[in-house]
Chain A
Amino acid sequence: MSTMSTVSTELGILTRFEVLSACLLALLPCVGCGKTAESVPSKVSQVGTTEVTAVLEEVRGEFVNRANYDYAFVMKYKVKAVHRGSVEGDTIYVAHYNPQKARSSAADARVPDIGGNVTRFRPGDVHRIALEAPIDDYYMGGIINRYFDEYKGVIYWAVWTDDAQ
């Protein structure tokens, strides 16, 4: 009888914990919802010659993870709106420098002028991007382009990348 009571009490504690955990998890999506990326004017409208809002359609394969190796990684975007300049078609290929890093910390001595508030690149995300083209006029270094065999057109260089969800 005594054993049964203890078990029942422990189950009670666990149940309350589970309920509390579920509530916390349910509340988590609200964290950060109040953030406004527009509180400070972004450089996205001040740099680059082209500015678009586009959906990140594909990140092909995994990023290269090598010590001390800096590179640009080409990603496929579907353009939703063109704010400045022009792009060819509604699918564009954009190279991001060291994409494993948050945009706010991706700039370095070799590539000093990039930035933005995007922290990670995930297919489906919507980005507002300031672009330059062609990439070779603006960036000198390794370019991982997994579309090389199927697309030979212009590769855009992402100067500034903000979240536009």
Chain B
Amino acid sequence: MTRTRLPQLGLVLVLLLAICAVGLIQVVAETTGAATPQLLDLFRRTPTAAGLRAYETDLEQNSWCGNRIRVATQLAAFVTFRDLGAKALIGRDGWLFYRPGLEYVLEPCDGLAEAAAAIVAFRDALAERGIKLLVVPAPEKPSIYPERLGLFAQGLKKPMATHTTRLIETLRNNGVECTDLFSTFAGASGKPLYLVQDTHWAPGGMRLAAETVARRLAELGWVSPGQAVYDLKPVNLLRQGDIVEMVQNPAIAERFEPEPIVCEQVIDAEQTPYKDAAESPVLVLGDSFLRIYERDEPGAAGFVAHLARELRMPLASIINDGGGSTLVRQELYRKPELLKGKRVVVWEFAERDIRFGVEGWQRVPLPE
């Protein structure tokens, strides 16, 4: 009788071990790491649907086993299938694409009306104070370079900007001034306007955008050129693309060589890198498309500095990483001094934020 039960008991134990191992390892890892076991959260308060969802999310994110297995499986998927996971994908010639950017370009977009309403309301609020607004949607990489996605995308019409073109049309029909960088970029030749491993524009694309915006401001007669004289200083740097970082796997990241970039830093007559001036008549709002080269290394070599050089005057700016849709206007609300004496606001946002903007497209009042 005992002999016949041993295999059964063994199987039961193996099964129990398989079921409990992950949880036990987690408890051991947490207690040895001087943290209170997360399991105790279940007993701390009355369970609610929201609380249990949050608990489950925490479990997924903090799983000791999960995080270690994930790193190995990600690497295996990358080595075997060139798969970069949920956030990124590899195109032709080593070009990397951020998946939400691609989803924005390819999938239906239901945020257009909300975005248009928020932008029109912002324009109206500024107009009441005698301030003009120029809207600048920044193109996503797949909009400008769809052919880099793969052979299947050869021959696609460029730019692929159906949603953003519709938004620009809607805004123009409502009297909002917009700069269309899509046709400008699609017609450009020479070096790529975007970084190979990054979501953002290359120095050439950024500078073309700044020149286009400056030209439009001059055509509209909104800004008269200033007296400041700026020069350019070439700076070489190596940049690890943000798409590589998003994969969050050091073993995969080290397989990508940092991209060599030649920036042009804007310097004044004393050879000092460009600096903003809060009292400028022009305020620039935007997201990481303005941050790159400007606040990232080498500094003073991004969109704001180059726009300032084109306009021959220092500018005021608010750069809110990932917050081009709503957060940057909330930041403006907290900084009323930046709106004093302004005649023009230039508002840049990544086009994917029309659908995926953090906190959507809320109506945000101007500071009092």
Contact = CB atoms under 8 A, between A and B. Distances in A.
Contacts of A69: 321-322, 358
Given A68-B246, A143-B331, A119 B36 contact: yes
Interface in B23-63: 27, 30-31, 34-41, 43-45, 51, 53-54, 57-58, 61-62
27 contacts: A9-B5, A13-B12, A28-B37, A28-B43, A29-B43, A31-B27, A32-B30, A35-B36, A62-B53, A62-B54, A64-B358, A68-B246, A102-B35, A119-B36, A119-B38, A122-B41, A122-B44, A122-B51, A124-B45, A141-B321, A142-B323, A143-B330, A145-B330, A148-B330, A148-B364, A155-B334, A163-B36
A155 B322 CA distance: 20
A66 B331 contact: no
Nearest to A70: B321
Contacts of B331: 136, 143
Contacts of B362: 148
A45 interface: no
Given A62-B54, A148-B364, A142 B358 contact: yes
Interface residues of B, number: 45
Given A13-B9, A144-B327, A144-B359, 10 more contacts: A28-B39, A66-B322, A68-B246, A71-B323, A100-B61, A122-B45, A141-B320, A142-B322, A144-B358, A145-B330
Interface centre among B9, B41, B51, B327 (most CB of A within 10 A): B327
A32 B37 contact: yes
A83 interface: no
Given A62-B54, A71-B358, A31 B330 contact: no
A120 interface: yes
A31 B40 contact: yes
Contact of B37 (A31, A102, A117, A163): A31
Q: Which 9 A-B pairs have the closest CB atoms?
A: A67-B246, A67-B87, A68-B246, A142-B323, A32-B36, A69-B322, A119-B35, A142-B327, A142-B322
Nearest to A64: B358
A114 B184 CA distance: 43
B242 interface: yes
Contact of A142 (B40, B41, B247, B321): B321
Contacts of A120: 38, 41, 58
A59 B333 CA distance: 23
Contacts of A71: 321-323, 358
A17 B15 CA distance: 13
Given A32-B40, A120-B41, A144-B327, A68 B358 contact: no
B40 A35 contact: no
Interface centre among B9, B31, B36, B40 (most CB of A within 10 A): B36
Contacts of A155: 334
B248 interface: yes
Contacts of A35: 34, 36
A117 B33 CA distance: 11
Interface string A66-88: 11111100000000000000000
Contacts of A67: 87, 246-248
